[in-house]
Structure 1
Amino acid sequence: MSEPLRGIIPPLITPLKDRDTLDREGLERLVEHLIKGGVSGLFVLGTTGEGPSLSYRLRRELIEHTCKLTKGRVPVLVGITDTSFTESVNLARYSAEAGATHVVLAPPYYFPAAPPEMLEYVQDLVTEMPLPLFLYNMPGLTKVSFETDLVRRALDMPGVCGVKDSSCDMIYFHRLIEVAKQRPDWSVLVGPEELTAEAVLLGGHGGINGGANLHPELYVKMYQAAATQDLQRTRELHAEVMRLAGSIYTVGRHKSAIIKGIKCALSILGICEDHMAEPFHRFRDAERGIIRERLVNLGLIS
């Protein structure tokens, strides 16, 4: 890669008909909805996609069908995070064979590795990778961060092409931007959509934002405004993004409410089913009614 990956790359929700059955028709509608919305790529098996909760069979089915549906129109990134080194490698190889373009790795999330151990883990894994690798910093779920020293060391690994940060720590993010200046082909992407405008204005390359599943055009326009340093337009679009997030992500009482809200909203929009992977279950009628009302207020349905 001579240029960093830029723009809005939605972390796809995984459309399910039940806990272990892919909603293939819904996946097709979702992929078309996002590509039509102008996104710069698709990221499957991330946090929003409930990746670690899906069976290995279902993960492979999702990868295969997403790549077939995408038909090379945008890059496809695949999350390969696992507690097993070998399973991460196996999924990366399968992704390459299916037509994916990148893989994404968060730290193993059961045994917390110390920084020297994590560096060795990344070094060993990169040698096995058939595709460019993004580091995925998600300490809220993995208990371990990719420290900036490790990221700096990763600049010398040709197989690593960037980092996605979902720590919500903007000091850390700004340090990543400074580190990445040494590699003009590196991407620094942010997860939380509430921080995407700021991140891009200050040198980030884009966002992997869950809300883009619902309203991709909004997020793409916000990214474009920030990338061109149009401050007034960025403020206006950022306010719309904050309104969407505040409306859809706050319906449930638990942390799972974000994914439940996105899935419920997509179901109401007629795009895909809203079943969840265990241990979670989709919103019931009361919450669904609230989501419908808020979609009306957001202008996404009449």
Structure 2
Amino acid sequence: MPSSPTTQPPSRFQGIVPPIVTPLADDDRLDDSGCERLLEHQIEGGVDAIFLLGSSGEIVSLSHQLRADFVRKACRIVNQRVPVLVGITDNSVVETKRLAQVAADAGADAVVLTTPFYYPVDQAELKTFVQSILQGIDLPLLLYNMPAMTKLWFAPETVAELAQIDQIVGIKDSSQNLDYFRQLTSLKSIRPDWTFLIGHETLLADSLRVGGTGGVNLGTNLFPKLFSRLMQAHRENDDDAVQGFQTKIDALAPIYEIANSSAPLLPLIGITKTALSILGICNDHLAPPHRPCTPEQRQQLTVVLEQLKSTLGV
């Protein structure tokens, strides 16, 4: 059972936690210098933590060896300057726990677990899955609700039951459903130490107003200072400034509009990687079978980025 609310410290995993893309030199090799530049870009931008191997990190398209290599390299680069969270998504309990152990050995601070996918899973099996992962790992764990990719939700009732486990310290929600997110934040009554992170960046300010504690937002890869300043304004209870920064975050939409919107998320990852390459931060290679942006998209994106750099003030 959780400790009493009076003895629970606030979560270490609140604030802006960028879902880092995985810089690739080729199909199964990291862009080593790109990894370092990307992580330094985030830390210099004032982020509160780093999230490796989430959906934006193309985790399910990477070999198990590459995942482990990235975790080890990233933890060395970050060197405990901010907490590192590691996605351990895999349908295999054995592989999931193996990557969790890699994360622990590398010095990561927490692991992040989404629901299984491919085979249908009910909520009872989902609870069993999470409990099985927890057996034998020592790091704190955050749940990750990503129904667009996994086709399965963490039902609020399931999250409430799992909140009784001390080792589970929060949830990241990418459902884009603010009513669902509000149900999650009501769990502060039993776990005031939990973190509640929103995935969709256009909802960041709204999520903070309904009890959220931070964001795991794709655009942070590009403009970390913009997101960090919004979070600082929230901490200072400056609602006008929060809304001002949210308006600037919403202005990133032209970047994403260049991407092919016929499929969820992956084109947005591709456009973000291409933007990072234009900014000189990392390679834009995508894990196979996916392809990077076209030359035409790259040209459009170059124009949009120049406009944004002059208007965002970051």
User: Scaled by the length of structure 2, what TM-score is found?
Assistant: 0.93
Match of 2:9 among 2, 5, 16: 2
Question: Tell me, what secondary structure is at the counterpart of 2:86?
Answer: strand
Report the Cα distance in structure 2 between the residues aligned to 1:127 and 1:3, rounded to whole angstroms. Answer: 24
Equivalence for 1:195 = 203
Give percent identity, aligned residues only: 40
Match of 1:294 among 297, 304, 312: 304
Question: Tell me, what secondary structure is at the counterpart of 2:57?
Answer: coil
Question: Tell me, what secondary structure is at the counterpart of 1:129?
Answer: coil
**Contact 2:53–2:87 under 8 Å retained in 1:** yes
- Matches of residues 165-180 of structure 1 in structure 2 within 5 Å? 165-180=173-188
Match of 1:272 among 278, 282, 290: 282
Q: Deviations over 1:3-23 (max 9, x none)?
A: 212110000000011111100
- Tell me whether 1:116 sits opposite 2:124 in the alignment: yes
Question: Tell me, what secondary structure is at the counterpart of 1:77?
Answer: strand
- Matches of residues 153-172 of structure 1 in structure 2 within 5 Å? 153-172=161-180
Q: Deviations over 1:241-264 (max 9, x none)?
A: 0111x1111112243221011101
**Contact 2:93–2:132 under 8 Å retained in 1:** no
**Contact 2:256–2:271 under 8 Å retained in 1:** yes
Match of 1:249 among 239, 248, 256: 256
Deviates more, 1:78-87 or 1:120-129: 120-129
CA deviation after TM superposition for structure 1 residue 300, in Å: 6.1
**Contact 1:81–1:105 under 8 Å retained in 2:** yes
Q: Deviations over 1:46-102 (max 9, x none)?
A: 011101110011001100000000000000000001011110000001110011110
Cα pair distance change 1:202/1:226, threshold 3 Å: farther
Report the Cα distance in structure 2 between the residues aligned to 1:232 and 1:118, rounded to whole angstroms. Answer: 41
Question: Tell me, what secondary structure is at the counterpart of 1:298?
Answer: helix
**Contact 1:67–1:100 under 8 Å retained in 2:** yes
Match of 1:261 among 271, 277, 281: 271
**Contact 1:137–1:146 under 8 Å retained in 2:** yes
- Aligned residue pairs total 300
- Matches of residues 99-248 of structure 1 in structure 2 within 5 Å? 99-244=107-252, 246-248=253-255
Report the Cα distance in structure 2 between the residues aligned to 1:24 and 1:135, rounded to whole angstroms. Answer: 29
**Contact 1:201–1:227 under 8 Å retained in 2:** no
**Contact 2:196–2:213 under 8 Å retained in 1:** yes
Long gaps (5+) in structure 2: 1-7
Equivalence for 2:44 = 36
Match of 2:32 among 13, 20, 24: 24
Report the Cα distance in structure 1 between the residues aligned to 2:288 and 2:89, rounded to whole angstroms. Answer: 18
Report the Cα distance in structure 2 between the residues aligned to 1:206 and 1:12, rounded to whole angstroms. Answer: 16
Long gaps (5+) in structure 1: none
**Contact 1:12–1:42 under 8 Å retained in 2:** yes
Report the Cα distance in structure 2 between the residues aligned to 1:266 and 1:208, rounded to whole angstroms. Answer: 18
Question: Tell me, what secondary structure is at the counterpart of 1:113?
Answer: coil
CA deviation after TM superposition for structure 1 residue 123, in Å: 1.8
Report the Cα distance in structure 1 between the residues aligned to 2:245 and 2:281, rounded to whole angstroms. Answer: 24
